[in-house]
Each structure stands twice: as structure tokens, then as C-alpha cells.
């Protein structure tokens, strides 16, 4: 009897331990994984869509996006990895999440959005969207990423300070990585100023510009890269020395400011007076950059949507994609009052024009004249309308490659623990391994 | 039901929970992984993943480094620990102290162990300081061909003590009468070792080989602590490849690599078993 009892107890223990191993079924709604701390932001993002779902029986609550939250990034990534591997995982992912998207696209982890839209009899009419930005979502001939909003890489220089420093490049000219001499001279000539404020001075983002993940190549063994790296290191040290004892960095005048927003927010910040940003439109000049080639206009996807290939509900996902492409959704994401959900400019051309009109409070239809806009905004739009290339990342949030692959050697280099030669060797080795794995 | 049958059934029932655990957590995932290794995305791809794997630069690099490490580290560890055990068995008075001292690296946490090696061999470490003071140029021990040497040394240093203990126990169990008889017959020390001690401790040698192989597959912890996820190409092992593909969510390749890695480990272990059986005969 004793023996039988112990056997039964053991069996019960094993059975109970297996209770958690459920099978993924068609859920009540689409799922999106995020950190608990980010939930509010993403809720705002998907609120509009969830309301839109309720307006149509075909979509209903099943097409709404629900949240699965995690305490920390490690927990999220572990869960994500395990679930994706077992054929599950969230239905919806966004480019702002720190995942190795280039590797995942190579492994065909995402649904081809063109095919997905066929589920509901829709298709993307590319004439209605910003061409180069939409192209960024195509990988190995399949459209895996849907860019919803984008920004162009620009730097805003304060005219008064630029004049003092003798920097006289005209608006729209480029600030390239090769301009390290200019950078150095500006750095040395004006003590007490910050050269930059904003996200674009991050060396890891600069390094990312020298890597082509689609063609699996990188240009670390060039003078251009070496000079850029040294400049960024000096800049990093300079900024640190100027800011480490200051409580509020905004009290230090900054020659250049980089913003991660699109035209609408730019207009709101620089063209309209704002108590947080002293000075009006006339005090700023917009430049392209930082970038590698002067002739390029680089765009960055601010919000991009990806759909898990394992999704149990492709039809609902297709509704989400369709909504994201719509003018309604894109207007919502690019609210011109500076308090938008996402930021950036809409890829939907109609929405783009509408938002510009809203910014300038121009009365009229879509055929308004651009000349009536503020000069700074005109310069910015000139840049934004001639995009030559687009990156799938937003250029200011650290990517998986920047943190997990090159983060460790870069940190050592910036701390001065290793020299530039050794760093470039480590960087090349890690990048090569990452791309080839 | 006969008593013997009843006992067998009871024994089987006792084994069942563990067996279920092994089936659910090891066998089923392994079979699933094997199955997934024939797919890219949702489409059946046959042997494509395996063909890709064997033309992949990183996989071949990892395979080569793992083979180099196993083929140098394991024999070196075994020979060195056998020689030390032999030496200690000849000097029983000091043997206890040295055996304990050799065990210290086994109980030291990986992080502390790595710190010691970094203090010694980093670019501005003690060894390079010494080299510089003698007028030689410093060596990048952790970022050159020396990296593999460093990893082999760490592996030998860390596990030598345990293997010495095992070998010492094995040598101590060799009948003293056999050794004495051989000595009386005029056998040289070398002959005693090769003709009497080594054949007599075959089971111990096999066990040490097995443990050394298992430890060699666990060296990833030290490699990770020293170099992170992406080490230099000299110390990029199969475990790095598998681990990184897991985090990169590249499952077709991960599944194929895991199957190949498991086949590699099973093949090495079968070879070791065969060798042991042959020696026993």
C-alpha cells in the first residue's frame, strides 16, 4: 500500500508539473509583449486601433491588441525566444523593440505583409506612400516591416551660436562623419558650450551606419570610420566633462540640437514659440546628418509594425496592418501638437500633407502652397521629400546589434581601456560573426 | 502475478516519473528540434539547413575551434593530471597538501577565476608588465592566437586538481605486490607505468576522460565571462554559435546546429566507450 501511494504521489507530482505546458490556440485577441513600464505608451498607441475594431463585426474584439507584460527585458526576451521557437509568440512586434530584426527576417520569422493583406482582400498601393521608406521594410523580396511613421536625419544649429563659431554652411547642407576637422575646431573654439544635445551623437548609432546588414558587409577598416570614431570619442569625453557636474544640461547652451521627431514636431518645437526651447524659427538652421555621404538623405523608421509568422489569427493581423496604413491612423500617430503617440512623419502621403496643413494652420485643401510655410519647415520638408535611403531603426534607441553584439567592446573603448586598433579588430570580428551566424 | 513480475512492475512505476520527465523535457524537445531542423519558416526545406550549416563560415569556425580545444585540452589535462598523480603517489608526505591545493581552482567561482587571469594576462596585466620591464613588447593574450592557449590553460588549471584526485585513487588501487614483483624482476620505472599502472587503471582513465570531455563542453562559461557573446574568432566555440542563434531567434539554424552538436558529443562519447571496452578486453 505504501509503495502504491508513493508511486501515485510521484505520478501526481509529474502531472502537476506539466499542467503549464499548454498548447497555443486562437486567442481572444492579438497579443503584444512589452515591459510593464512601457505598457501605458503602447496602450495609447493601440487604443485607436482597438476602438476601430469595435466599429465592425468582422473585426470585433478578436482583432484587438492585448498586452502581455514583463518586469524586465531579460524575462521578456527569454519568453519571446522560447515561444517563438515552439511556434507561438506575440502576434504583433514593433521595430522599437530591441530584437535582432535583420536576423529574424533572414530566418523568415515574420509574415509577408503583402500576402497577409490578401486575407482581407486588401493590398498596398505604393503610390500612396513614401517610396523609399516603404522599401526599407522589404527584405529578401518580402515585405516584413510596415513603416508607419518616419523621420529624416537632421541637426538643428542655433544661428547665433553658429555665427559666433564662424560656421556658415547653408541650410540643407550635410554634416558628415568626415567633417571631423570641423567638429574638432568647433569643439576647441568655444569653451562653455555643448556642441550637441540629442540622441544622434551616440557612437553606437554611428557604427551602425558603417554596417550593411542586407549585403552582410561593413566598412570599419577605413580612414573615414577611424576618424569618425575618434571624433565621437572626443565628443563623448567633451560632453561628459561639461555635463557631469551640471544638474540640468539644458542650462548649457548647445550649438546643435538633434531631434528624433518628424516635420510636425519640428515645426511645433522650432517654428512656434515654446517655453522649453528658447527662441523662434529664425534662430535655427537645419542640416542633414550626421551621415556618411553628403548627397544622401537618410530617413529612419520611427514606428514599424511586424507580424509574427506563427500568428494564429492572420485575418485579424491583416486588419491591424490595414489600419496602420490608413490616413486615420497615421494622422493619429503624428499629432502636430508635440504630444503625439509616436512622432515622426506619416508614410501615407495624404496624411503627410494634412499634417503639414494642420501645423501651419493653413486654411485649404491638400493643394496648399509650401511657400507659405515657415522657412525652417520649408528647408526641413525639402530634405524630407528627397529621401534616398531609409534605416529600419530610429537611430536613437539602441538596437540589438548595438547593445548585445558591440556594446561590450565599445564601452571598453569609450572608457579608454582598449585602443582604437584593438577596438576595430574586436568590432570587425563581432560584426562578422553576428552577420554570418 | 509472480513476485518477480510484481517487483519489475513496481520498479517500472518508480522509474516512470523520472522517465516521463526525461521524455517530456529531453526526448520530445530533441525530436521537435530534429523535426524543426528540416524547416525554414513554415516550409519544409529538407536538408537545406544542414547544407547551409556546413557552408556557414561561423559554424565551420566554431566546429574547428571546438575540435582544436577538445583535442588539445582533454589530452593535456589527462596527461598532466596523471603525471602529477603519479608524482604525488611517490611522495606521500606532501601529497595531501598538494591535492588540496590543486582542488582550489575547482571551488573558486568562475568570476573570481576570470578576474585572476585578467589581472595576470590583460593588456596592462602583470605578465605584460613583466615583459615590458624586460624590454619585450606586450602580448594581447585575450585578443590574438593566444586566446585559445589561454582558454586551454584555464581549462587545465581549473580541472587538473579533480582529475589528479581521481587518478591518485586509481593508482592507489593498483596492487602494490604487482609493482614490487615487477621491480624485483628488474623492470624500469617507465615500464612499470606503461605496462602495469596504466592498464590497471583503465576504468579510472575512462572516467577521467568522460569527465574531461564533459568539462570541455562546459568551458563556455569561462569564454563568456572573458569575452562576452562575441569573442574573437580564435575562441568562438560551438556553444557560442548555438547560444547566439538562440538569442538571435534563428531557429532553423539553431535546430540544425543543436542536432549536429549532439551528434558530435554522442560520437565522442561512443568512441570513448568503445576505446574503454577494447582496453578492458
A389 neighbors A132 (Cβ within 8 angstroms) = yes
Q: β-strands A284-291, A174-176: how paired?
A: parallel
Cβ of B20 and A430 within 8 Å? no
Q: Report whether pLDDT(A220) > 90.
A: yes
Of all residues in chain A, what percent carry a pLDDT higher than 90?
A: 27
Rounded Cα–Cα distance for residues B100 and B88 (Å):
12
Distance from A58 to chain B by nearest Cα, in Å?
Answer: 27
Cβ of B249 and A109 within 8 Å? yes
Nearest to B33 by CA among B230, B186, B242: B242
Nearest to A110 by CA among A129, A123, A124, A91: A91
Residue B164: the pLDDT is 92
Q: β-strands A298-307, A389-391: how paired?
A: parallel
Task: Give the tens place of pLDDT for each residue, A245-267.
Answer: 777 766 777 777 766 555 556 65
Pick the residue of B9, B36, B39, B248 with the most A CBs within 10 A to test the interface with A by mutation.
B248
Distance from A235 to chain B by nearest Cα, in Å?
Answer: 26
Q: Report whether pLDDT(B170) > 70.
A: yes
Residue A2: the pLDDT is 60
Cβ-based contacts under 8 A for chains A and B: 96
Nearest by CB to residue A7, choosing from B14, B123, B231, is B14
Name the residue of chain B whose CA is nearest to A2's CA. B10
Residue A278: the pLDDT is 47
Q: Is B145's Cβ below 8 Å from some Cβ in A?
A: no
Residue A92: the pLDDT is 94
Q: Report whether pLDDT(A366) > 50.
A: no
Residue B167: the pLDDT is 93
Which distant-in-sequence residues (6+ apart) come within 8 Å of A71 by Cβ? A35, A36
Least-confidence region, from A21-30, A259-268, B61-70, B259-268: A21-30
Least-confidence region, from A192-206, A220-234, B79-93: A192-206
Mean pLDDT calculated for residue range A409-430: 91
Cβ of A422 and B143 within 8 Å? yes
Rounded Cα–Cα distance for residues B18 and A10 (Å):
9
Q: Report whether pLDDT(A25) > 80.
A: no
Cβ of B229 and A429 within 8 Å? no
Rounded Cα–Cα distance for residues B215 and B239 (Å):
13
Q: Is B17's Cβ below 8 Å from some Cβ in A?
A: yes
Name the residue of chain B whose CA is nearest to A98's CA. B248
Pick the residue of A22, A404, A425, A433 with the most B CBs within 10 A to test the interface with B by mutation.
A433
Q: Report whether pLDDT(B147) > 80.
A: yes
Segment (H or E) for A256: strand A254-258
Of all residues in chain A, what percent carry a pLDDT higher than 70?
A: 76
Residue A263: the pLDDT is 52
Least-confidence region, from A134-143, A288-297, A354-363: A354-363
Q: Is B241's Cβ below 8 Å from some Cβ in A?
A: yes
Mean pLDDT calculated for residue range B233-261: 88
Least-confidence region, from A76-85, A206-215, A257-266, B102-111: A257-266
Cβ of B123 and A422 within 8 Å? yes
Rounded Cα–Cα distance for residues B47 and A103 (Å):
20
φ/ψ of A304, rounded to 5, equals -130, 140
Task: Give the tens place of pLDDT for each residue, B15-60.
Answer: 999 999 999 999 998 998 898 888 876 678 889 899 989 999 999 9
Cβ of A81 and B244 within 8 Å? no
Task: Give the tens place of pLDDT for each residue, A310-361.
Answer: 888 898 899 999 999 998 888 887 765 545 556 678 899 988 887 777 766 5
Name the residue of chain A whose CA is nearest to B28's CA. A86
Residue A24: the pLDDT is 39
Least-confidence region, from A254-258, A292-296, A364-368: A364-368
For all residues of chain A together, what is the average pLDDT? 79
Nearest by CB to residue B249, choosing from A14, A107, A436, is A107
Q: Is B237's Cβ below 8 Å from some Cβ in A?
A: no
Q: Report whether pLDDT(A435) > 70.
A: yes
Residues of A whose CB is below 8 A from B17: 10-11, 13-14
Cβ of B246 and A77 within 8 Å? no
- What is the per-residue DSSP string for B91-113? -HHHHHHHHHHHHHHHHS-HHHH
Cβ of A434 and B16 within 8 Å? no
Task: Give the tens place of pLDDT for each residue, A68-81.
Answer: 999 988 888 888 87
Residues of B whose CB is below 8 A from A88: none
Task: Give the tens place of pLDDT for each residue, A162-175.
Answer: 787 777 778 888 88
Rounded Cα–Cα distance for residues B236 and A43 (Å):
42
CB atoms within 10 A of CB B131: 14
Mean pLDDT calculated for residue range A285-293: 86
Q: Is A10's Cβ below 8 Å from some Cβ in B?
A: yes
Cβ of B251 and A84 within 8 Å? yes
Nearest by CB to residue A81, choosing from B57, B229, B249, is B249
Residue A336: the pLDDT is 57
- What is the per-residue DSSP string for A275-330? TTB-S-GGGEEEEEEEES-TT--EEEEEEEEEEBTT-S-HHHHHHHHHHHHSHHHH
Cβ of B236 and A433 within 8 Å? yes
Q: Which residue has the higher pLDDT, A239 or A102?
A: A102
Residue A280: the pLDDT is 45
Cβ of A429 and B233 within 8 Å? yes
Of all residues in chain B, what percent carry a pLDDT higher than 90?
A: 36
A238 neighbors A252 (Cβ within 8 angstroms) = no
Residue A369: the pLDDT is 56
Q: Report whether pLDDT(A128) > 90.
A: yes
Residue A359: the pLDDT is 64
Residue A23: the pLDDT is 36
Q: Is A434's Cβ below 8 Å from some Cβ in B?
A: yes
Residues of A whose CB is below 8 A from B36: 85
Q: Which residue has the higher pLDDT, A353 or B231?
A: B231
Residue A5: the pLDDT is 57
The sign one gets for the Cα dihedral A78, A81, A87, A90 is positive
Nearest to A433 by CA among B37, B238, B36, B149: B238
Cβ of B10 and A3 within 8 Å? yes
Residue B261: the pLDDT is 84
Residue B229: the pLDDT is 87
Cβ of A81 and B247 within 8 Å? yes
Cβ of B244 and A437 within 8 Å? yes
Q: Is B181's Cβ below 8 Å from some Cβ in A?
A: no
Confidence tier at B275 by pLDDT (50, 70, 90): confident
Q: Is A11's Cβ below 8 Å from some Cβ in B?
A: yes
Cβ of A434 and B254 within 8 Å? no
Confidence tier at B281 by pLDDT (50, 70, 90): low
Which distant-in-sequence residues (6+ apart) come within 8 Å of A178 by Cβ? A224, A227, A228, A292
Pick the residue of B43, B44, B128, B251 with the most A CBs within 10 A to test the interface with A by mutation.
B251
Cβ of A422 and B140 within 8 Å? yes
Residue A345: the pLDDT is 84
Q: Is A437's Cβ below 8 Å from some Cβ in B?
A: yes
Nearest by CB to residue A433, choosing from B13, B230, B246, is B230
CB atoms within 10 A of CB A291: 21
Residues within 8 A of B (CB atoms), A 85-114 only: 85-86, 99-100, 103-104, 106-109
Q: Report whether pLDDT(A13) > 70.
A: no
Q: Please report the beta strands in chain B, taking only residues with DSSP state E, as ranges in sequence order.
A: 39-40, 43-44
Mean pLDDT calculated for residue range B97-111: 82
Distance from B210 to chain A by nearest Cα, in Å?
Answer: 30
Task: Tell me how far CA of residue B78 lies from CA of A128, B86, B89, B155, B220, in angstroms.
Answer: 70, 12, 16, 11, 20
Q: Is B144's Cβ below 8 Å from some Cβ in A?
A: no
Confidence tier at B96 by pLDDT (50, 70, 90): confident
Q: Report whether pLDDT(B223) > 50.
A: yes
Residues of A whose CB is below 8 A from B10: 3, 7
Cβ of A108 and B14 within 8 Å? no
Q: Is B105's Cβ below 8 Å from some Cβ in A?
A: no
Confidence tier at A420 by pLDDT (50, 70, 90): very high
- What is the per-residue DSSP string for A397-424? SPPHIIIIISHHHHHHHHTTSS-HHHHH
Amino acid at each position: 500500500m505504501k509503495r502504491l501511494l508513493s508511486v501515485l504521489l510521484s505520478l501526481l507530482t509529474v502531472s502537476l508539473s506539466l499542467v503549464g505546458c499548454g498548447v497555443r490556440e486562437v486567442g481572444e485577441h492579438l497579443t503584444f509583449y512589452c515591459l510593464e513600464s512601457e505598457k501605458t505608451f503602447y496602450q495609447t498607441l493601440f487604443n485607436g486601433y482597438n476602438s476601430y475594431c469595435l466599429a465592425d463585426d468582422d473585426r470585433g474584439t478578436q482583432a484587438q491588441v492585448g498586452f502581455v507584460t514583463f518586469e524586465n527585458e531579460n524575462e521578456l526576451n527569454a519568453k519571446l525566444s522560447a515561444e517563438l521557437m515552439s511556434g507561438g509568440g506575440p502576434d504583433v512586434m514593433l521595430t522599437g523593440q530591441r530584437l535582432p530584426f535583420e536576423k529574424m527576417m533572414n530566418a523568415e520569422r515574420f509574415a509577408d505583409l503583402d500576402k497577409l493583406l490578401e486575407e482581407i482582400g486588401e493590398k498596398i498601393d505604393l503610390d500612396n506612400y513614401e517610396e523609399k521608406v516603404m522599401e526599407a521594410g522589404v527584405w529578401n523580396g518580402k515585405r516584413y516591416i510596415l513603416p508607419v511613421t518616419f523621420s529624416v536625419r537632421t541637426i538643428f544649429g542655433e544661428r547665433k551660436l553658429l555665427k559666433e563659431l564662424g560656421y556658415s554652411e547653408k541650410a540643407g547642407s550635410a554634416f558628415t562623419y568626415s567633417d571631423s576637422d570641423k567638429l574638432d575646431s568647433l569643439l576647441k573654439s568655444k569653451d562653455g558650450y555643448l556642441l550637441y544635445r540629442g540622441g544622434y551623437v551616440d557612437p553606437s548609432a554611428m557604427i551602425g551606419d558603417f554596417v550593411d546588414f542586407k549585403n552582410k558587409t561593413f566598412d570599419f577598416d577605413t580612414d573615414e570610420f577611424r576618424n569618425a570614431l575618434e571624433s565621437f570619442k572626443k565628443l563623448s569625453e567633451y560632453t561628459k566633462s561639461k555635463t557631469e557636474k551640471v544638474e540640468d544640461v539644458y542650462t548649457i547652451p548647445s550649438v546643435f540640437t538633434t531631434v528624433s521627431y518628424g516635420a510636425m514636431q519640428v515645426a511645433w518645437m522650432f517654428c512656434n514659440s515654446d517655453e522649453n526651447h528658447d527662441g523662434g524659427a529664425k534662430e535655427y538652421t537645419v542640416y542633414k546628418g550626421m551621415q556618411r555621404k553628403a548627397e544622401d538623405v537618410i530617413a529612419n523608421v520611427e514606428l514599424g509594425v511586424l507580424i509574427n509568422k506563427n500568428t494564429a489569427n492572420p485575418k485579424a493581423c491583416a486588419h491591424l496592418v490595414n489600419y496602420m496604413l490608413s490616413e486615420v491612423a497615421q494622422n493619429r500617430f503624428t499629432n502636430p501638437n508635440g504630444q503625439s503617440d509616436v512622432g515622426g512623419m506619416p508614410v501615407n502621403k495624404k496624411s503627410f500633407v494634412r499634417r503639414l496643413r494642420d501645423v501651419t494652420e493653413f486654411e485649404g485643401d491638400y493643394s496648399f502652397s509650401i511657400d507659405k510655410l515657415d522657412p525652417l519647415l520649408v528647408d526641413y520638408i525639402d530634405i524630407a521629400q528627397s529621401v534616398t535611403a531609409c534605416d529600419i531603426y530610429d537611430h536613437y534607441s539602441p538596437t540589438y546589434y548595438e547593445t548585445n553584439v558591440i556594446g561590450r567592446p565599445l564601452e571598453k573603448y569609450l572608457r579608454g581601456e582598449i585602443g582604437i586598433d584593438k577596438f576595430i579588430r574586436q568590432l570587425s570580428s563581432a560584426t562578422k560573426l553576428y552577420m554570418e551566424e | 502475478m509472480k513476485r518477480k513480475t510484481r517487483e519489475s512492475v513496481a520498479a517500472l512505476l518508480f522509474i516512470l516519473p523520472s522517465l516521463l520527465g526525461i521524455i517530456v523535457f529531453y526526448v520530445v524537445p530533441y525530436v521537435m528540434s530534429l523535426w524543426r531542423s528540416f524547416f525554414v519558416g513554415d516550409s519544409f526545406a529538407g536538408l537545406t539547413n544542414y547544407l547551409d550549416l556546413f557552408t556557414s563560415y561561423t559554424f565551420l569556425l566554431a566546429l574547428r575551434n571546438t575540435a582544436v580545444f577538445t583535442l588539445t585540452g582533454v589530452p593535456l589535462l589527462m596527461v598532466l593530471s596523471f603525471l602529477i598523480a603519479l608524482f604525488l603517489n611517490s611522495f606521500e608526505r606532501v601529497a595531501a597538501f598538494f591535492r588540496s591545493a590543486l582542488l582550489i581552482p575547482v571551488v573558486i567561482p568562475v568570476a573570481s577565476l576570470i578576474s585572476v587571469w585578467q589581472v595576470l594576462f590583460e593588456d596592462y596585466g602583470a605578465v605584460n608588465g613583466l615583459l615590458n620591464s624586460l624590454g619585450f613588447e606586450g602580448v594581447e593574450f585575450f585578443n590574438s592566437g593566444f586566446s585559445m592557449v589561454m582558454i586551454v590553460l584555464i581549462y587545465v588549471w581549473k580541472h587538473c586538481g579533480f582529475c589528479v584526485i581521481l587518478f591518485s585513487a586509481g593508482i592507489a588501487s593498483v596492487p602494490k605486490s604487482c609493482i614490487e614483483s615487477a621491480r624485483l624482476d628488474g623492470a624500469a620505472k617507465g615500464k612499470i607505468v606503461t605496462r602495469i599502472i596504466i592498464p590497471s587503471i583503465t576504468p579510472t582513465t575512462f572516467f577521467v576522460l568522460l569527465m574531461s570531455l564533459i568539462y570541455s563542453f562546459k568551458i563556455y562559461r569561462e569564454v563568456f565571462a572573458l569575452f562576452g557573446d562575441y569573442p574573437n574568432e580564435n575562441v568562438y566555440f560551438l556553444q557560442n554559435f548555438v547560444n547566439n542563434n538562440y538569442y538571435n531567434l534563428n531557429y532553423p539554424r539553431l535546430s540544425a546546429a543543436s542536432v549536429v552538436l549532439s551528434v558530435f558529443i554522442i560520437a565522442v562519447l561512443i568512441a570513448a566507450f568503445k576505446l574503454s571496452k577494447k582496453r578492458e578486453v
